[in-house]
Structure 1
Amino acid sequence: MKPRNDIYNVPKAKKPANRQEQLDAEIRELVKQRDATSNAGEKHRLNAEITKLFAEYQRLKI
């Protein structure tokens, strides 16, 4: 059983440490939005944005 004071220690949301992690989070969020929508035009727009961010992400990895 956990000590009583541990139930109040709620972990804070982790902020991205660098640009690469920030891009990763943005890409993941856009993919979720793209998968949730049924509008073909919206999917196309989101996919273009994902592709642009992914290219920037890959350049940062080099």
Structure 2
Amino acid sequence: MLTKPLLTVQEVADLLKISDDTVREWIHDKSLRAIKFGREWRIVARDLESFLNARANRPEGDGP
């Protein structure tokens, strides 16, 4: 079913070079889709990509 592992809050924060508190705020605000396992959140890579694409300042594929 899953071809890629789910990302932790810390992994997303590290990838984006931001604090884990910011990632948790996005999850809390329901801006970033996440799945809760016990006390831990996991993010599907595809959902992170969608979240980032929705906030891009240029349409995808729009070259320089």
Same fold? TM cut 0.5: no
Per the normalisation by structure 1, the TM-score is: 0.29
Per the normalisation by structure 2, the TM-score is: 0.28
Higher strand share: 2
Higher helix share: 1
